[in-house]
Structure 1
Amino acid sequence: MRPYRFSTDTVARLLEQHFGRSADLALVPIRIGSGQGMLCYLKTMTNAGFLTENVTKPLLQAHRQGNFPPDGLGLDALREFLFGGLVTLLLGDPQSLSALLSQGYAGLLLDGEPNMLIIDVKELEKRPIGEPTTQNVIKGPKEAFTESADTNMSLIRRRIINERLRFEKFVVGSQTKTPVYLTFMEGEADERVLRDIRDFLQDNSMVSLFDSGSLEQLFRSKRTLLFPAVYHSERPDSICSCLLDKRVGLIVNGSPFVLIVPALFADFFKSPEDEYQWSVIGSLIRSLRYLAFMLSLSLSALYVAVTCYHQELIPTLLLTSIAAQRTGIPFPAVVEMFLMEITFELLREAGTRMPRLVGQSISIAGALVLGEAAVQAGIVSNITVIVVALTAIAGFVSPVYSFGANIRLFRYVLIILGSLFGLFGVIVGIAFLAVQLTQIETFGIPYFSPMSRLGRRRSS
């Protein structure tokens, strides 16, 4: 069988079939020794200055000075002669060329040659490393991940200087071809977890993948709908700590958040700052976060249940004050609570979506003005505004915002149970939630497992 011979005309037609008449496709004719060649690349995926200095200029200078290797030695000799310091490879299949150009490579071919020289010239603009925006700390590192997977891997490698740290590359998304990197400590991470994730990434039939959040949703099961099954963070020190705890990381190119699996319930109450201060203070603050979680989950429901069914549990003076405040309120406590909860949800979303300069002021001003106006108009009572505000503030205590956001859904269920059955309904709802939590497993690890048990996987 005769070997394939590259032709500039054939390759040009092939690339035009794949890319059409795209404005960023460059097909540059060039003389290589006594032969005719072509340099092809995508302008939007390569660094023009790097390409000119390291590829085009050396070719032109060598051609003018007659320093090319003798004719007949081919592109392999040319690679050693001119491009010894660059990342290159020889390609024998022209069908793979379009995929390589889309990844930031340039192709150099010579008529009649059996191979094509592929040169790595990608050096795209990247967002500089900045401070975390969702997991701020007072004491500790101020670096955060970016949208570049190479930068994120570098941030991890700089902190874990260990030859057992591994990065495995996968390509996910039939249309986007998004690089996803599996990172773990060789010999430390659970092999069954690694095998499950490898199988998932290899067999996944996703059409597109733009952010790690899409992968995060795919790891959810029916039992983990309320609670996240994957821990995510934009802090390199937090991710490195999880990797050393025998966990597995997923880095998605284009996302500033790195995923960690398996995720445990305790992960969402830890802050990286806990490691940088006195252990007693760190433990107290972490306990406060658990208390805030319980307040955010049940305080509104407890208020509705007690005021509707169990007034005898309220001290007399406080009960008198509440009754005086509710005089003239046209709605029952449960409707009043729902009105304020929905109002705070609207304010939270408005503050999040508005431009940064005005978002915070709108949230604060809106809460003060609307709350005061609602009380003055006799729509809600002062105590309801206090309970809803305290519930909302407690929901923001969790270091991971998405965890507190999921809890808000179950809070409404508890409010309804409290309005129908009193404290009995609230207790039954919380007990049901606790039972469900004890049955959740992420990659075979119980959701309530302490960190020390990760190395002793429960037999299945």
Structure 2
Amino acid sequence: MNTDNLTTAGEELSSLEKVKQGLKDIFGQTTDLAVVSVHVGQYEGLLCYLTTMTSTDFITGKIVKELSLSEDKEQLSKEETFRELEDCHFSGLKHETLQNMEDSSNKMVLGYAAIFVDGLPLVLAVDVRSLSSRSVEEPTSQNVVRGPKEGFTESADTNMSLIRRRFNNVKLRFEKFELGYMTHTAVYIAYLDGEVEEHILEQVRERLNSAYIDSLFDSGRIEDLLHSKGKSMQLFPTICNSERPDAVCSYMINKRIAVIVDGSPFVLIVPSIFTDFFKSPEDEYQWFVIGSFARYLRYFAFILSLIVPGLYIAVTSYHQELIPSILLTSIAAQREGIPFPAGIEILLMEITFEILREAGTRMPRIVGQTISIVGALVLGEAAVQAGIVSNINVIVVSLTAISGFVAPIYTFGAKVRFFRFGMIILSSLIGLYGLVLGCCLLMVQLTRIESFGVPYLSLFSKWDKRRVT
């Protein structure tokens, strides 16, 4: 034991009055600080904790009761009394021995109770966290018809337990990090020892250790910190997220690393590639043919959501000869009297739909869905009747919007909407040439992206491990 540390600690822990004053200086006038005078064996002591991090019943049943039992023991010195509490009475609870006020206050913020003995330069910090949290419920963003109905919660301990229950394997590892110099949020990485690439694991550790942020309340905040720096700006997400324990475990079996943030129900998966954003856990729970068909259908829907509006603008504005005569006559009849060109018409409807989608998301759940459906129907019908847009335009925008929501990962669909507007603008300017140019630029971007050294399009090209750095 370091004598210098004990000397310094002795000054601030020399008496219970100095301890009280030190706690007051650190915590100020906060109302959730409890400083209770107790008897620790035959000696005066203090029991200090934050009421917002535990319950009174837990403190009374687990801590105060044990302190009172120590009075029945024969006369012991302060050091012997302290060791008896540590080795016997609180051996079943997580605890630490501290030597100064700063460490003690930091532990109290994390949900520990600090036990001080008058004149003893040691502090016993006992874990007394007893917080109410949301129960394990069905995921809200990644639903399946067949499969487990459990979803992650905001508690990191619960989330790690959900993962551990699915891995009866001693290779499962959890490592803890602390991010946010204001919030000190716990971040954990989970992986199977011996299965993940060591250099990828080291990159994740390095980026978490070097992260410098003021606060962390959700895993989305650290996605940018973990994003791989590719050869160019990356407009597609390189980190997948999931609130399904079965999906995360499936990724971990495939040599991935899970990043769990305390306070967030979304667990990050690194590295992630293009195909990960089209996988659904349900694909593995049904017949292989059906699962494969559903996955390929998502790829097709992704292509539709990208090119359908631009293709409609290009062929109706620049390349009418590509449209069958009967269909062309029908489209021309519908567009008769429309005051806007096809490009402006599509942009107006796309922007209107985005406003409705955002309003439906932000409004209270009771009225949000109603507003979205009624708003889309009423505005669409009214716009057609007023001669602002055509019926075929409503069909194109609706098909595009529905196709954009087929991807199981919501964040990926948001990126698709961004590129769709680019395709619309290019098609409005130079027709099919602009659409082809946009697709080529998109493919170039996809081929240049890497996630922790793994090519983004690994499914479509051979993964050479020698180039992964």
TM-score interval, normalised by the smaller of the two chains: over 0.9
Instruction: Indicate the larger mover: 351-360 or 158-167.
Output: 351-360
Map residues 134-213 of structure 1 onto 2, 5 A cutoff: 134-213=141-220
Instruction: Indicate the larger mover: 74-83 or 278-287.
Output: 74-83
User: Residue 83 of structure 1: CA displacement?
Assistant: 2.5
Q: Is the 8 A contact 2:104 2:123 kept in 1?
A: no
Q: Is the 8 A contact 1:239 1:249 kept in 2?
A: yes
Q: Is the 8 A contact 1:438 1:448 kept in 2?
A: yes
User: Residue 122 of structure 1: CA displacement?
Assistant: 0.7
Q: Is the 8 A contact 1:90 1:116 kept in 2?
A: yes
Q: Is the 8 A contact 1:226 1:407 kept in 2?
A: no
Q: Distance in 1 between matches of 2:328 and 2:422?
A: 25
Instruction: Indicate the larger mover: 109-118 or 337-346.
Output: 109-118
1:58 pairs with 2:66:
yes
Of 443, 446, 462 in structure 2, the residue corresponding to residue 437 of structure 1 is 446
Q: Is the 8 A contact 2:273 2:458 kept in 1?
A: yes
2:414 corresponds to which letter in structure 1? A
Of 305, 311, 318 in structure 2, the residue corresponding to residue 309 of structure 1 is 318
Q: Distance in 1 between matches of 2:464 and 2:57?
A: 50
Please give the per-residue CA displacement for 1:195-235, whole angstroms capped at 9, x wherever unaligned: 11111111111111110000113334574542111000000
Q: Distance in 1 between matches of 2:464 and 2:21?
A: 56
Q: Is the 8 A contact 2:204 2:226 kept in 1?
A: no
1:36 pairs with 2:9:
no
Partner of 2:24: 16
Q: 3-state DSSP class of the match of 2:134? A: coil
User: Residue 74 of structure 1: CA displacement?
Assistant: 3.0
Partner of 1:380: 389
Of 345, 354, 359 in structure 2, the residue corresponding to residue 350 of structure 1 is 359
User: Residue 293 of structure 1: CA displacement?
Assistant: 0.2
Q: Distance in 2 between matches of 1:148 and 1:103?
A: 14
Q: Distance in 2 between matches of 1:457 and 1:389?
A: 45
Distance 1:272-1:451 versus aligned 2 partners, 3 A rule:
farther
User: Residue 68 of structure 1: CA displacement?
Assistant: 5.6
1:404 pairs with 2:399:
no
Please give the per-residue CA displacement for 1:355-407, whole angstroms capped at 9, x wherever unaligned: 11211111111111111100000000000000000000000000011101111
Q: 3-state DSSP class of the match of 1:106? A: strand
Distance 1:142-1:68 versus aligned 2 partners, 3 A rule:
farther
1:127 corresponds to which letter in structure 2? R
Q: Distance in 2 between matches of 1:39 and 1:435?
A: 63
Distance 1:25-1:266 versus aligned 2 partners, 3 A rule:
same
Q: Is the 8 A contact 2:207 2:225 kept in 1?
A: no
Over the aligned positions, Cα root-mean-square deviation in angstroms equals 1.7
2:37 corresponds to which letter in structure 1? P
TM-score by length of 1: 0.96
1:450 pairs with 2:459:
yes
Q: Is the 8 A contact 1:211 1:255 kept in 2?
A: yes
Q: Is the 8 A contact 2:99 2:121 kept in 1?
A: yes
Q: Distance in 1 between matches of 2:62 and 2:461?
A: 52
Q: Is the 8 A contact 1:265 1:448 kept in 2?
A: yes
Q: 3-state DSSP class of the match of 2:467? A: coil
User: Residue 67 of structure 1: CA displacement?
Assistant: 3.1
Q: Is the 8 A contact 1:69 1:81 kept in 2?
A: no
Q: Distance in 1 between matches of 2:185 and 2:268?
A: 15
**Structure 1 residue runs of 4+, over 6 Å off?**
451-455
1:70 corresponds to which letter in structure 2? L
Q: Is the 8 A contact 1:165 1:184 kept in 2?
A: yes
Please give the per-residue CA displacement for 1:2-36, whole angstroms capped at 9, x wherever unaligned: 73333312222221111111101111111223321
Equivalent pairs: percent with the same residue?
A: 55
Q: Distance in 1 between matches of 2:461 and 2:276?
A: 13
1:292 pairs with 2:298:
no
Partner of 1:318: 327
2:200 corresponds to which letter in structure 1? V
Q: 3-state DSSP class of the match of 2:330? A: helix
Q: Is the 8 A contact 1:69 1:77 kept in 2?
A: no
Please give the per-residue CA displacement for 1:245-269, whole angstroms capped at 9, x wherever unaligned: 0011100000000000111000001
1:348 corresponds to which letter in structure 2? R
Instruction: Indicate the larger mover: 209-218 or 318-327.
Output: 209-218
Q: Distance in 1 between matches of 2:207 and 2:337?
A: 59
1:322 corresponds to which letter in structure 2? I
Partner of 2:380: 371
Q: Distance in 2 between matches of 1:430 and 1:177?
A: 44
Q: Is the 8 A contact 2:42 2:75 kept in 1?
A: no
Instruction: Indicate the larger mover: 129-138 or 17-26.
Output: 17-26
Instruction: Indicate the larger mover: 153-162 or 355-364.
Output: 355-364
1:263 pairs with 2:277:
no
1:113 pairs with 2:93:
no
1:440 corresponds to which letter in structure 2? I
Q: Figure out how many residues of one structure are paired with residues of the other and give that number.
A: 458
Q: Is the 8 A contact 1:104 1:121 kept in 2?
A: yes
Q: Is the 8 A contact 1:245 1:451 kept in 2?
A: no
Q: Is the 8 A contact 2:41 2:81 kept in 1?
A: no
TM-score by length of 2: 0.94
1:26 pairs with 2:6:
no
- What are structure 2's unaligned runs of at least 5 residues? none
Q: Distance in 2 between matches of 1:83 and 1:429?
A: 65
Please give the per-residue CA displacement for 1:55-102, whole angstroms capped at 9, x wherever unaligned: 112323543xx3366244230123334323222222123321110000
